[in-house]
Amino acid sequence: MIKEEFSTLSSKNKNYCEALINIRKITTNILPIGHSFIPYDILLLVMHYHHLGQDLTIKKLLNSGIHSDMGIRYHLKRLIEKDWVSIDVNEKDQRVRILRPTTKLHEHMDLMAQKIEEPFAEGLSLKIHEINK
């Protein structure tokens, strides 16, 4: 019984791993990720907060604990210079800096979403659905 459960789990894991590998390839080709997850995480957080209608401040990003302050600052600077993220000043408190997605980031995230949906539409979701039965 354990062997059968492991076999099903392994098959399910294989499909999820393949999906994640494909997503990673797609995101690497569309977003300025390179070999580090830091810019990827920054861009995802900026978009996530934007979609929630909440402000992501630099302080909140640095306190998120996802990466070192130095790594975040380095990659954030590059993302700002390359026009992926912009900084706005809070109207109520001039010391607070808010990170915003640029038009470039919006466009590339839309493209990425479209590219990620294609493999799922072509059958990957069916494979995962069949495993969950």
Residue 27 belongs to some domain of the structure:
yes
Residue 121, both tokens: 């539409």
In the chain, how many domains are there? Answer: 1
Residue 133 belongs to some domain of the structure:
no
Residue 33 belongs to some domain of the structure:
yes
Mean pLDDT (whole number) for 73-80: 96
Q: Please give the residue range of the domain that contains residue 6.
A: 2-127
Residue 110 belongs to some domain of the structure:
yes
**Dihedral angle sign, alpha carbons of residues 23, 29, 34, 71:** negative
**CATH label of the domain that carries residue 116:** 1.10.10.10
The pLDDT, as a whole number, for residue 127 is: 45
Residue 117, both tokens: 């949906």
The sheet with strand 56-57 has its strands ordered as 56-57, 97-101, 85-89
pLDDT higher than 60, residue 124: no
Supply the mean pLDDT for the chain: 83
Residue 55 belongs to some domain of the structure:
yes
The pLDDT, as a whole number, for residue 115 is: 86
Task: Specify the amino acid at residue 12.
Answer: K
Residues 10-62 have pLDDT tens digits of 766 777 788 788 888 888 889 998 888 899 999 999 999 999 999 999 999 99
The CA distance from 22 to 106, in Å, is: 21
